Chains A and B, each alone.
Chain A
Amino acid sequence: MAENVIEVRKVDKFYGTGSIRTQVLFDVSLGFERGSFNSIIGASGSGKTTLLNILGTLDLPSKGEVLIDGERTDGLTKNQLAKLRNETIGFVFQFHYLLPEYTALENVLLPVTIRKGRPDQGDVKRAEELMELVGIFNVKDNLATNMSGGQQQRTAVARALINEPKIVLADEPTGNLDSESTATIYQRFRYINATLGTTFIIVTHDRRIAEQTDRIVGVKDGRIDMDVKK
């Protein structure tokens, strides 16, 4: 069995304090192999986003460990975590979150800008190729606020891929898209997974999408109730 590029061990997560303290994740242990193409499914409110945020070091587990590339993240400083996120993980958030002050192209280049201050010509070319790939090249100079929901979502997808991260964490990345666009995006993910060996973890509530992935993890009420590999 290949090593895990990202993993949680015995993770509990509580929200709130005192009487409103509720447990959202219960003793979750889950690892993803390098280069694998996975999905997480579950009902709304089952804890999928919480799990993904903890995997991506955006949120801290109340108990348990997170390992990225075999290394525990609880010993890292906030700056080291920030660098790790920037270079290793590409996020597509459930709500796509673009910077409204920037154009689509600039938004796609944001992780590069943060990494090295100023994108070079090669970066811009790569960004434009990615945008072409997800079908938003024609709106590349639009401000984020002047794009449709679907266009914004595809911009967020291109942004997640720009730094060629080892891991892409995507939270319902095609929630706003028609079935044709959805199919295109998954083709792209598959292509990048095959050519660059990028690990994909995609949260979805759409079983048909999940069935196209190599492994389906089911979450129910904060516990893993299903884990099937093809």
Chain B
Amino acid sequence: MVSFGIALRFLRSNKVQTILIVLGIAVGVSVQVFVGSLVTSLQGSLVDAAVGSSSQVTISPDENNTVIEDWEPMVPSLEGISQINAISVSADSPSFLRDGSRTLSVLVRGLQFEKADNIYNLEEATYEGSWPTIPGEVLIGKELSETLAVGVGDDIQVTTPAGQNLTMVVSGLFDLNVRVINENWILTTLSYAQGIFGFGEAITSIETQVDDVFQADVVAQEVRELFADRPVEVTDWKAENAQLLSGLESQSFSSIIIQTFVLASVVIAIASILAIKVLQRSRQIGILKAMGITDRDASLIFIYEGTMLGALGATLGALLGLTLIWAFTTFTAQPDGTSVLSITAEPTFVILSAGIAILAAAVASAIPARKSSKLSPIEVIRNG
């Protein structure tokens, strides 16, 4: 109480110094908040673009098989793995699409649309018409519909690998924002695809998404063990995107380096400034001790000073960081209003950054606090 009041007075009576230290800490914390959020958002958007709307752990037939038989019991088994949050089965086959004299390669995919929606966000992607419900209805991609110049209600001609020619009706159009998919995929009902490709009750893959995309390899291993006695193969997105991952890793690493240096500079700045402050105030500390302040209270003055500087700096820094993020997102906006990269600030990260800076300030003030505790009043009284 005594110490807090004295600390407050010391801070207020040297405003310029106080403001400079607070600004120093604030700059450090704002860089921390901005860079940390930037890297996290960048990674988030990269990963989301790469695997957010696709299968993250995929079960396919092993090399000796072309289909997965007796798959129904596998679904409840997968549902038992808590990390898995979306499961979709499909019966796929490459096929040919005939358009006058042209022949295009396509992938016909038989899906349970309600289930597939959990992975591909088909509901949102379907911008015209509706999902296929009866045999022969298909959903095709934006680019394919433009190439063929067909719309909802029009027919298309498909030839299966077995050579069977079929006429299908476009029931709707989708845009999954990936050109290759929009050009290649023809989506239809599971049972229709099973029928035309002669799969019977079998399917060709089970696709899943997991809660934490970076745990996909761990989940994949669990799935592998679960179906060890079945002729299937389990793959995860991480194994197939090693390059993306190593890019992300080096990004994370540089972000940690930056944050460590920022933190170190905050600690050193506060410790050295408070050390000078103890020297500057040794006269006052001596008087206070002669008047009967305890060594503990004398040291608390500097702990409070350091912590208050840290708290002010961290709060200002967090606000500054958030302002930077807002400014970045606003001023890099494209004419259509969307941003090149929208940075989102995780509240927990911002609070953690500020908290660490405050803690660092408190710890940094321990050395000067000790000095203050050790100071003997007589040294001051005697030396005038």
Contact = CB atoms under 8 A, between A and B. Distances in A.
Contacts of B291: 85-86, 91, 110-111, 114, 159
Contacts of A118: 1, 5
A59 B380 CA distance: 11
A35 B5 CA distance: 35
Interface stretch (A64-72, A94-102, A127-135, A185-193): A94-102
B73 interface: no
A78 interface: yes
B9 A114 contact: no
Interface in A61-86: 78-79, 82-86
A137 B5 CA distance: 24
Q: What 3 A-B pairs are tightest by C-beta distance, nearest first?
A: A86-B292, A101-B13, A117-B1
A58 interface: yes
25 contacts: A56-B290, A58-B290, A58-B377, A58-B381, A59-B378, A78-B294, A79-B295, A82-B295, A84-B292, A85-B290, A87-B292, A91-B290, A91-B291, A93-B381, A94-B384, A100-B13, A101-B9, A101-B13, A114-B288, A114-B293, A114-B297, A115-B292, A117-B1, A117-B2, A117-B5
Interface residues of A, number: 31
Nearest to B296: A79
B287 A82 contact: no
Contacts of B380: 97
Contacts of A159: 291
A146 interface: no
A110 to B, nearest CB: 6
- Candidate in B288, B291, B296 with the most chain A CB atoms within 10 angstroms: B291
A22 interface: no
Interface of A: 49, 53, 56, 58-59, 78-79, 82-87, 91, 93-95, 97-102, 110-111, 113-115, 117-118, 159
B102 interface: no
Given A97-B283, A97-B287, A101-B9, A82 B294 contact: yes
Contacts of A78: 294-295
Interface in B260-287: 283-284, 286-287
Interface string B368-384: 00000000011011101
B152 to A, nearest CB: 79
Interface string B125-157: 000000000000000000000000000000000
A14 B228 CA distance: 88
B238 interface: no
Nearest to B13: A101
A101 B292 CA distance: 18
A111 B294 CA distance: 12
A168 to B, nearest CB: 13
Nearest to A99: B284
B289 interface: yes
Contacts of B293: 82, 86, 114
A119 to B, nearest CB: 11
A100 B284 CA distance: 8
B10 interface: yes
A79 B293 CA distance: 8
Contacts of A102: 9
Nearest to A79: B294
A66 B287 CA distance: 21
Contacts of A99: 284, 287-288
B11 to A, nearest CB: 10
Nearest to B298: A82
Contacts of B289: 82
Contacts of B287: 97-99
A117 B2 CA distance: 5
A53 B293 CA distance: 17
Nearest to A60: B378
Nearest to A93: B381
A53 B1 contact: no
Interface in B1-29: 1-2, 5, 9-10, 12-13
Contacts of A83: 292, 294
B305 to A, nearest CB: 12
A56 B289 CA distance: 12
